[in-house]
């Protein structure tokens, strides 16, 4: 075998080795990304479990509805920094839904956020009995100037008792800090227990209280 043939075979071997190294490096990158993703998912689940445990522990022994909602509001806002929560609940006499907020009401340009939610829209959201994004809310009848609505990130999470609509949580946060799917899912994890606690502590609740 000539010197040139040896060099050619050596170059082919080097190219083959380099190609194999790149393939292995790509596989290692994919594996590492999968491991990182799995670790993040695991940490997220642990955070959700910790949030749920903290939430339920904080409600133990509370039998007064107003105190119950105030405590639930506090824990939810701790889990969703910067967010505001308004509870819309069916009144005990069945006359409609009343709004309750434990803290100062969220506003858009000084106008209370709940003023953007007339009774027809509130009833439609409750009857839908499902999570609603701002797109869903617009489809259900949310009205307001686009410029105003762009100032907040909005979503609703339903409350129901054995499938029967009980009301919903209106969660908002000033932009540009958008409410994330993970945050809303975290709230959804505790709405079943919260709904049962509300039913157990049920007293008349009037709008504006």
182 within 8 A of 166, measured Cβ to Cβ: no
pTM flag (> 0.75): no
Which region holds residue 145: left if phi is over 0, alpha if psi is between -120 and 50, else beta? Answer: beta
Give the residue among 202, 204, 197 at the shortest CA–CA distance from 60: 197
Q: How far apart are the first and last CA of the chain?
A: 96
Q: What is the pLDDT of residues 67-115, one digit of tens each?
A: 999 999 999 998 899 999 999 988 766 566 777 877 777 777 777 788 8
**What does the block give as tokens for 63?**
């039998």
Q: What is the pLDDT of residues 147-163, one digit of tens each?
A: 777 888 999 999 988 87
Q: What is the pLDDT of residues 116-148, one digit of tens each?
A: 888 889 889 988 989 999 889 888 888 766 677
Q: What is the pLDDT of residues 21-80, one digit of tens each?
A: 777 767 777 776 766 666 666 666 778 788 888 888 888 888 888 899 999 999 999 889
């Amino acid at each position: 075998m000539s010197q040139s043939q040896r060099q050619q075979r050596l170059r082919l071997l080097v190219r083959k080795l380099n190609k194999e190294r790149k393939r292995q490096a790509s596989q290692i990158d994919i594996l590492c990304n999968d491991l990182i993703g799995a670790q993040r998912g695991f940490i997220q689940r642990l955070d959700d479990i910790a949030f749920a445990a903290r939430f339920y522990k904080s409600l133990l022994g509370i039998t007064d509805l107003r105190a119950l909602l105030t405590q639930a509001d506090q824990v939810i806002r701790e889990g969703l920094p910067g967010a505001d929560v308004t509870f819309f609940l069916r009144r005990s006499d069945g006359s409609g839904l009343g709004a309750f907020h434990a803290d100062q009401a969220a506003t858009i340009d000084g106008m209370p956020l709940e003023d953007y939610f007339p009774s027809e829209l509130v009833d439609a959201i409750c009857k839908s009995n499902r999570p609603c994004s701002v797109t869903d809310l617009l489809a259900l009848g949310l009205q307001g100037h686009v410029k105003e609505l762009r100032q907040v990130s909005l979503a609703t999470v339903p409350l129901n008792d054995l499938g029967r609509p009980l009301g919903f949580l209106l969660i908002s946060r000033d932009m540009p800090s958008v409410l994330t799917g993970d945050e809303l899912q975290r709230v959804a994890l505790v709405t079943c227990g919260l709904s049962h606690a509300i039913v157990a502590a049920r007293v008349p609740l009037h709008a504006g209280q």
